[in-house]
Chains A and B, each alone.
Chain A
Amino acid sequence: MKRIIPMWIAIIGGFAMMLSSFIPLAESAGEMFADVFNVVAAIAFVLGAGSLAKQHLEKLSRRDAGWGYSIITLGSFLITLFIGMLKIGIHPNPSFPQAAYSGSNDAEGSAWSWIYEYMITPLTSTMFALLAFFVASAAFRAFRAKNTEAILLLGTAFIVLLGRTFAGVVLTGWFPDWASGLRLENLSIYVMQVFNTAGNRAIMIGIALGVAATGLRILFGIDRSWLGGGDA
Chain B
Amino acid sequence: MTRQAKTWLVIGAVFVALLVARGMIGQGLGRVYVKRTDVTVTLPDAAAVNSAAAGASSASASASTSASTTAVSAQATAPSITSTSLASGTTMSWQEWKQVPPLEFIAAQKENPAQTEITLSWPRTIGLWLAAFFTLAIFSFLYADNPFYKIAESLVVGVSAAYWGVIGFWDTLVPKMFGALTPGLVKSLVQPSLIAPEMLQQISMVFALILGVMMLWRLLPRGGWISAWPLAFIVGVTAGLKIVSHVESDLMAQAAATMKPLIVSVTDASGATNIWDSWWASVANVLLVTGVICCLAYFFFSVEHKGVVGGAARVGIWYLMITFGAAFGFTVMGRIALLAARVEFLFDDWLWLIDPNHLRGL
**Residues of A near any B CB (own CB < 8 A):** 2, 5-7, 9-18, 21, 32-52, 54, 66, 69-70, 72-81, 84-85, 91-92, 94-102, 105, 107-109, 112, 114-133, 135-136, 139, 148-150, 152-161, 164, 181, 190-209, 211-212, 214-216, 218-219, 226-228
Closest 3 pairs (CB-CB, A-B): A198-B291, A199-B323, A156-B325
The reply to whether the CB of B127 lies closer than 8 angstroms to some CB of chain A is yes
Nearest residue, chain B, Cβ from A202 = B295
Least CB distance, B152 to chain A, in whole angstroms: 6
Contact B216 A36 (CB under 8 A): no
The reply to whether the CB of B204 lies closer than 8 angstroms to some CB of chain A is yes
Contact A212 B247 (CB under 8 A): yes
Chain B window 84-117, contacts with chain A (Cβ cutoff 8 Å), 1 for yes, 0 for no = 1110000010101111000000000000000000
Contact partners of A109 in chain B: CB under 8 A: 34, 96-98
The reply to whether the CB of B189 lies closer than 8 angstroms to some CB of chain A is yes
The reply to whether the CB of B120 lies closer than 8 angstroms to some CB of chain A is no
The reply to whether the CB of B156 lies closer than 8 angstroms to some CB of chain A is yes
Contact A35 B208, CB 8 Å, known A114-B124, A119-B155: yes
Nearest residue, chain B, Cβ from A159 = B329
Contact A40 B333 (CB under 8 A): no
Stretch from B16-24, B161-169, B265-273, B354-362 that touches the partner = B161-169
The reply to whether the CB of B215 lies closer than 8 angstroms to some CB of chain A is yes
Q: Give Cα A21 to B248, complex, Å.
A: 11
Which residues 282-297 in B have Cβ within 8 Å of A in the complex?
Answer: 284, 287-292, 295-296
The reply to whether the CB of B8 lies closer than 8 angstroms to some CB of chain A is no
The reply to whether the CB of B205 lies closer than 8 angstroms to some CB of chain A is yes
Q: Give Cα A69 to B237, complex, Å.
A: 38
Contact A132 B338, CB 8 Å, known A98-B81, A157-B329, A200-B323: yes
Contact partners of B42 in chain A: CB under 8 A: 97
The reply to whether the CB of B118 lies closer than 8 angstroms to some CB of chain A is no
Contact A94 B292 (CB under 8 A): no
Contact A52 B247 (CB under 8 A): no
* A–B complex contacts, Cβ < 8 Å, 14 sampled: A10-B232, A11-B236, A35-B176, A43-B215, A46-B165, A102-B192, A160-B326, A160-B330, A194-B284, A194-B287, A196-B327, A198-B287, A199-B324, A215-B242
Pick the contact of A122 from B131, B142, B239 — CB < 8 Å? Answer: B131
Contact A123 B159 (CB under 8 A): yes
Contact partners of A149 in chain B: CB under 8 A: 317-318, 321
Contact partners of A129 in chain B: CB under 8 A: 335, 338-339, 341-342
Q: Give Cα A52 to B219, complex, Å.
A: 10
Contact A153 B325 (CB under 8 A): yes
Contact partners of B81 in chain A: CB under 8 A: 98
Contact B342 A91 (CB under 8 A): no
Pick the contact of A42 from B162, B169, B188, B287 — CB < 8 Å? Answer: B169
Contact A201 B325 (CB under 8 A): no
Contact A40 B208 (CB under 8 A): yes
Contact A126 B243 (CB under 8 A): no
Least CB distance, B56 to chain A, in whole angstroms: 16
Contact partners of A16 in chain B: CB under 8 A: 237, 240
Contact A94 B72 (CB under 8 A): yes
Contact partners of A161 in chain B: CB under 8 A: 329, 332-333
Contact partners of B201 in chain A: CB under 8 A: 32, 35
Pick the contact of A154 from B98, B177, B325 — CB < 8 Å? Answer: B325
Contact B240 A17 (CB under 8 A): yes
Contact partners of B321 in chain A: CB under 8 A: 149-150, 152-153, 156
Chain B window 181-204, contacts with chain A (Cβ cutoff 8 Å), 1 for yes, 0 for no = 000000111111100000011001
Least CB distance, A118 to chain B, in whole angstroms: 3
Contact B166 A130 (CB under 8 A): no
Contact partners of A77 in chain B: CB under 8 A: 157-159, 161-162
Least CB distance, A231 to chain B, in whole angstroms: 13
Contact B255 A205 (CB under 8 A): yes
Contact B318 A152 (CB under 8 A): yes
Least CB distance, B160 to chain A, in whole angstroms: 7
Nearest residue, chain B, Cβ from A115 = B159
Least CB distance, A114 to chain B, in whole angstroms: 6
Q: Give Cα A7 to B48, complex, Å.
A: 54
Q: Give Cα A158 to B325, complex, Å.
A: 8
Contact B172 A38 (CB under 8 A): yes
Contact A40 B158 (CB under 8 A): no
Contact partners of B204 in chain A: CB under 8 A: 32, 35-36
Q: Give Cα A119 to B319, complex, Å.
A: 42
Q: Give Cα A231 to B141, complex, Å.
A: 43
Q: Give Cα A153 to B322, complex, Å.
A: 5
Nearest residue, chain B, Cβ from A204 = B250
Least CB distance, B286 to chain A, in whole angstroms: 10
Contact partners of A157 in chain B: CB under 8 A: 325-326, 328-329, 332
Q: Give Cα A10 to B20, complex, Å.
A: 63
